[in-house]
Structure 1
Amino acid sequence: MQTTLMIYDGTAPADSDVPRTGGVPLAPAGFEWPMCDSCCGGPLQFFAHLPVEDGVLSVFVCQNEPGACEFWDATAGANRVCLFFREGLRPVAVPETGVTLLPATSAIRTHVVTLDPEVNDDHAEVAPDAYDLARSGWKRGPEETFGKQREVLGSLGGSPSYLEDDRLPTCPSCTGAMEFAAHLEEGISARTAMNLGGQLGYVFICRACREGAFLTD
């Protein structure tokens, strides 16, 4: 049982094509900054740039009036996930008004955690959650006693942690089931944090339609 954790790795250039939270989005020519369709109508805040196997995921979430716009809902219009091809991406012009950027850009490195299912309690009523176990056990070195869970910014691939089936999003284009792409955690400090309302974020994509979705638990 493997989980690919995303680990905080210091700062990164704001326009770098590396896994990161914050900074400015990279997008194809002609891309227009997404706006909130839920309540406020303002520009969404750019959360994360996540290179994946067949492109780049850009995650946007409304932060203009936290709690007013339903950014936790995949269909409310207060968030956006874009799946771009890697070719021809360039930094996007940032709107002059609204809450658009995080205060800091945080680099991400990946770390694969392999868990032995045999060490878990076979009599547990609920099957062990791979992401939860990997995050709770994260340490910089085997000699350390205490974990450093705040360094974990989420994970790539795998399955959505403890998300009920009735909340799994469907593709707005083909209405098919969407593929889970990533977890997102708020971050290690107020300066670097993505405001998720203290919840875990989930990113989904439909590769065939190049559509994305975001929600929190």
Structure 2
Amino acid sequence: MQTELMIYDGPAPADADVPRTGGLPLAPAGFDWPVCGSCCGEPLRFFAHLPVEDGVLSVFVCQNDPGGCETWDATAGANRVHLFPREGLLPVAVPETGLTLLPVTSAIRSEVVTLAPEELEPDGDLDPDAYDVARAGWRREPDERFGKQREVLGSLGGEPSYLPDDRRPDCPSCAGAMEFAAHLEEGFEARTSMNLGGQLGYVFVCRPCRAGAFLTD
């Protein structure tokens, strides 16, 4: 089994059309910066620009004080995911209020990790999780206790790690089950971090409706 990990790859220009966390969102002309519909009504924070085969996933999450927004709920209004077409995207003007940008723009490179069948064989009562195994084993050195797991910013495709079926969101437009698109991790270091409260983020998409959703575990 293969897992496509997203790996921290140093700084990137804020408006680069490359896989990245932070920087400026790129969107079609006329796009309005989304605001929190959960508790504060302030602009959401832009988290990630993720080019995929049929467009670009643009992820926003509320990070405003007092910090009580329900980011674990895909439908509460604290998160937003857009699937934009790849062509004609422009940098979006940043609102004057709210916590809107990450401190640093971080480039992402993809690394495909191939897991042997025995690595995914059941061990006890639970089946191993493909993303968890791939992340834990990322470039682990023989004398290095924790490997380089902090380089992992998430993964693309596959299955959501340890997320119960009843928490997978349905599309608000067509009511169909959304497709899992990506995991997001907090980040390489505090300076570049997406603040997820130590939790794992999940990005979902409905490609026919070009709609998305985000939630944390």
Q: CA deviation at 1:120?
A: 4.5
State the SS of the aligned residue for 1:135. Answer: helix
Residue matched to 2:93: 93
1:105-184 correspondence to structure 2 within 5 Å: 105-139=105-139, 145-146=144-145, 147-184=147-184
Q: Distance in 2 between matches of 1:151 and 1:119?
A: 21
Q: CA deviation at 1:124?
A: 2.9
Q: Distance in 2 between matches of 1:4 and 1:119?
A: 16
Deviations 1:124-161 (A, max 9, x none): 32111100000000017x66644110000000000000
Q: Distance in 1 between matches of 2:108 and 2:35?
A: 26
Aligned residues: 216
Q: Which segment drifts farther, 40-49 or 57-66?
A: 57-66
Deviations 1:96-140 (A, max 9, x none): 111000000000000000001224444532111100000000017
* Change over 3 Å in CA distance of 1:168–1:122 after alignment to 2: closer
Q: Does 1:13 align with 2:6?
A: no
Contact 2:120/2:130 (<8 A) preserved: no
Q: CA deviation at 1:179?
A: 0.1
Residue identity over aligned pairs, in percent, reads 78
Q: Distance in 2 between matches of 1:123 and 1:138?
A: 20
Contact 2:3/2:134 (<8 A) preserved: yes
Q: Distance in 2 between matches of 1:85 and 1:213?
A: 17
TM-score calculated relative to the size of structure 1 = 0.96
Output the amino acid matched with 1:134: A
Contact 2:38/2:69 (<8 A) preserved: yes
Residue matched to 1:49: 49
User: Structure 1 unaligned runs (5+)?
Assistant: none
Q: Distance in 1 between matches of 2:205 and 2:117?
A: 28
Output the amino acid matched with 1:95: P
State the SS of the aligned residue for 1:191. Answer: helix
Q: Distance in 2 between matches of 1:137 and 1:73?
A: 30
Output the amino acid matched with 1:64: N
Q: Which segment drifts farther, 8-17 or 65-74?
A: 65-74
State the SS of the aligned residue for 2:118. Answer: helix
Q: Which segment drifts farther, 66-75 or 105-114?
A: 66-75
Q: Distance in 1 between matches of 2:8 and 2:123?
A: 35
TM-score calculated relative to the size of structure 2 = 0.96
Deviations 1:61-93 (A, max 9, x none): 001125311122100001100000001001000
State the SS of the aligned residue for 1:176. Answer: coil
State the SS of the aligned residue for 2:174. Answer: coil
Residue matched to 1:39: 39
Q: Which segment drifts farther, 44-53 or 143-152?
A: 143-152
Q: Does 1:200 align with 2:181?
A: no
Residue matched to 2:186: 186
State the SS of the aligned residue for 1:112. Answer: strand
